[in-house]
Amino acid sequence: MLHVKIKKAFPHFMLDVAFTAEKGITGILGPSGCGKSLTLQCIAGLETPDEGLIVLNDRPFFDSRQRVNVKPKDRKIGYMFQNYALFPHLTVQQNIAFGLKGKPKAEIEQKVAEMIKKIGLQNYERHYPAELSGGQQQRVALARTLIVEPDVLLLDEPFSAVDHYMKQALEQQLISFIQEHFTGIVLFVTHNIEEADRLCDRIIMYHEGKVIQSGPKEDVFARPVNVTAARMIGYENLFPVDSIERRHEGMVAFINGIELLVKDVNVPPSPLFLSVHANHLLFVEDDRPNTFDYEIVQTRTRMNHFDVMIKTEHFMLQATVAKKDWDSLLASKKKLYLPPEHLFFLQG
Ligand SMILES: Nc1ncnc2c1ncn2[C@@H]1O[C@H](COP(=O)(O)OP(=O)(O)OP(=O)(O)O)[C@@H](O)[C@H]1O
């Protein structure tokens, strides 16, 4: 288990975060400039926090009170940078061997040969990075990182420099490689919500130098704790709540003069908002609670669905409609339905 509780101040930025990470892939998700890379640098020992603690399995790497600050090379942390940072003037073999400097020659040769086999680059030992494809470069970078047998692997936006098609292939390769050859803690920095969803088990969400939410991916994505977290993970439908009332069938939220039945009974402190994911809006034929007349004001085509902007008398919403459902929606589904079990409260 990795425990991190650190503060670091710059003239225009303050990092103040606390989290834990276990075995498996934990994503640090947040927009540009929110302190993700800085956190990795502090864990690796490349930056020193002003105060706090960084402890791996009861072994302190950094403890400002006890004046502990373990040198980067003694932390056993593998750090893969955004653009891989391979040494252009060193061969594949030399790049991979870099972290083993000072070890006996025979040990280095054996370890490097094993690693080259693992990454499937047997015929490329003497090639230079510029002679490799993006995928091969990534494998060399990963091999160089893993050869020192780290306990923690830090991946800083490993796919930021590649195009969409390349990214899909590299993602798959990276994950299979990690699953096969690395059993420790992986911290994976990204600003891409879909990437985080595909690759991570747990999520730590950052905003302006602070953790705003963390937990298993499914929980974080299903239940953002506040409007900032919700916006970051793509919740478009966020309504300020005027007041609420507890009734025996559930909560009732009053918004713009209408009543909405809500099954969620966890009401956070005000300012109170109500949300529903675009995927959870339904179109129905019958009249029932939480149904509204609607008008489609804009449609955006996606791969398998449409993003639809909808206007009701009282509010605008965004819904996702599968392409296969489109015709039946236009033909017969006359009401928009906000299912009470998918409405939830969050803090403004
Ligand atoms: N050495 C430094 N001196 C001054 N400010 C710094 C330093 N290092 C980082 N910062 C500031 O800390 C903030 C966070 O930077 P960081 O690189 O961690 O962001 P990030 O979330 O990783 O974003 P990106 O994805 O764009 O790299 C930024 O505002 C940056 O300017």
Cβ(42)–Cβ(2) below 8 Å: no
- The pLDDT score that the predictor gives to residue 175 is 84
Residue 219 three-state SS: helix
pLDDT tens-digit readout, 163-205: 777 777 778 888 888 888 888 999 999 988 988 998 999 999 9
Whether ligand 1 lies within 6 angstroms of the CB of 190 is answered as no
How many Å apart are CA 72 and CA 77, to the nearest integer?
8
Whether ligand 1 lies within 6 angstroms of the CB of 14 is answered as no
How many Å apart are CA 6 and CA 305, to the nearest integer?
43
Whether ligand 1 lies within 6 angstroms of the CB of 37 is answered as yes
Residue nearest to ligand 1 atom 20, measured at CA: 33
How many Å apart are CA 172 and CA 118, to the nearest integer?
16
pLDDT tens-digit readout, 135-156: 888 889 989 988 888 999 999 9
Atom of ligand 1 nearest to the CA of 82: 27
Residue nearest to ligand 1 atom 16, measured at CA: 35
Whether ligand 1 lies within 6 angstroms of the CB of 10 is answered as yes
Cβ(336)–Cβ(310) below 8 Å: yes
Domains identified in the chain and CATH numbers: 2-231 (3.40.50.300), 233-347 (no CATH)
161 confidence band (pLDDT: 50, 70, 90): low
pLDDT tens-digit readout, 13-24: 999 999 999 999
For 1-26, what is the mean pLDDT?
97
ipTM score assigned to the predicted complex: 0.95
How many Å apart are CA 252 and CA 38, to the nearest integer?
44
Q: What are the angstrom distances between the C-alpha of 142 and each of 44, 96, 175?
A: 16, 9, 11
Residue nearest to ligand 1 atom 1, measured at CA: 10
Residue-averaged pLDDT of the chain: 91
pLDDT tens-digit readout, 308-345: 999 999 999 999 999 988 888 777 778 999 999 999 99
Q: What are the angstrom distances between the C-alpha of 242 and each of 82, 171, 231, 257, 260?
A: 45, 44, 20, 8, 11
Whether ligand 1 lies within 6 angstroms of the CB of 36 is answered as yes
Whether ligand 1 lies within 6 angstroms of the CB of 21 is answered as no
pLDDT tens-digit readout, 32-86: 999 999 999 999 999 999 999 999 999 999 999 999 999 998 998 999 887 778 8
Is the sign of the CA dihedral 81, 20, 28, 14 positive or negative? negative
- The pLDDT score that the predictor gives to residue 225 is 92
How many Å apart are CA 154 and CA 41, to the nearest integer?
9
Whether ligand 1 lies within 6 angstroms of the CB of 33 is answered as yes
For residue 89, pLDDT beyond 80? yes
- The pLDDT score that the predictor gives to residue 180 is 84
- Which residue is it, tokens 């790497």? 61
Cβ(36)–Cβ(206) below 8 Å: yes
